[in-house]
Amino acid sequence: MAIFSVYVVNKAGGLIYQLDHYAPRADTEKTFSFPLDLVLRPHDERVVVAFGQRDGIRVGHAVLAINGAEVNGRLTADGKDVLEFLGNPANYPVSIRFGRHRLSSNEKLMLASMFHSLFAIGSQLSPEVGSSGIEMLETDTFKLHCFQTLTGTCGRALPGGAELGRSDASVPTAPGIKFVVLADPRQAGIDALLRKIYEIYSDFALKNPFYSLEMPIRCELFDQNLKLALEVAEKAGPFGPGS
């Protein structure tokens, strides 16, 4: 699998849909004796490794589970403070699972709003009038792809050349719905996938009489067809440099 997640952001920057399709597993579970040879610190309502990388456990990784039970932020499954529990010699040996923390719903809402602002900044920085905002961000582990629909009298070409609305570079583009896909850097066919997601949104959200514009998308047919589109996109085309 190579498509990690999909976000849909409304015109005001609010997150109205989010799907985690695939997340690489990078968790590491080890059994420790007392004293713990890692330095742990509280950070953003979580307990993270501050010093002492070893055996796949890295600085910044969070404590995800203790003795097989998921932790809840800074608390164990039975409501005890994680740092106090791990500071008690009577609780050893102890099995701890470390890994990158999972984004909470509130964190996803905040990040969607931040990206909405960055998208607008990218458009305003352009030396040409009518430029789009951020269409792709690339890192060593994933690429973020974004397509924004058109609103008002302005138009912009859909990925791959299809056009929606009227294109007029002399008029600033008003914010539209943003479709964001996070994928493996080698994944091919993302432009086609973005077009397909827009079609699914049009067919199963906009045409749904019970759906209100700009509101969260809760539609079983939208979910089913989106997941199917992601599976098809992952199988399309070989992976490789430059694909």
Residue 154 has pLDDT above 60, yes or no: no
Q: Is 27 helix (H, G, I), strand (E, B) or coil?
A: coil
pLDDT tens, 17-29?
Answer: 999 987 666 688 9
pLDDT tens, 32-89?
Answer: 999 998 999 998 788 999 998 888 888 889 999 999 999 988 999 899 999 999 999 9
d(CA 175, CA 123): 11
Total-model pTM: 0.71
3-class secondary structure per residue, 39-56: EEEEECCEEEEEECCECC
pLDDT tens, 222-242?
Answer: 999 999 999 999 887 433 333
d(CA 144, CA 112): 12
Residue 24 pLDDT: 61
Residue 92 has pLDDT above 80, yes or no: yes
Mean pLDDT of 114-131: 86
Q: Across all residues in the chain, what is the average pLDDT?
A: 84
Token pair for 223: 């979910």
The answer to whether the Cα torsion of 190, 194, 199, 205 is positive or negative is positive
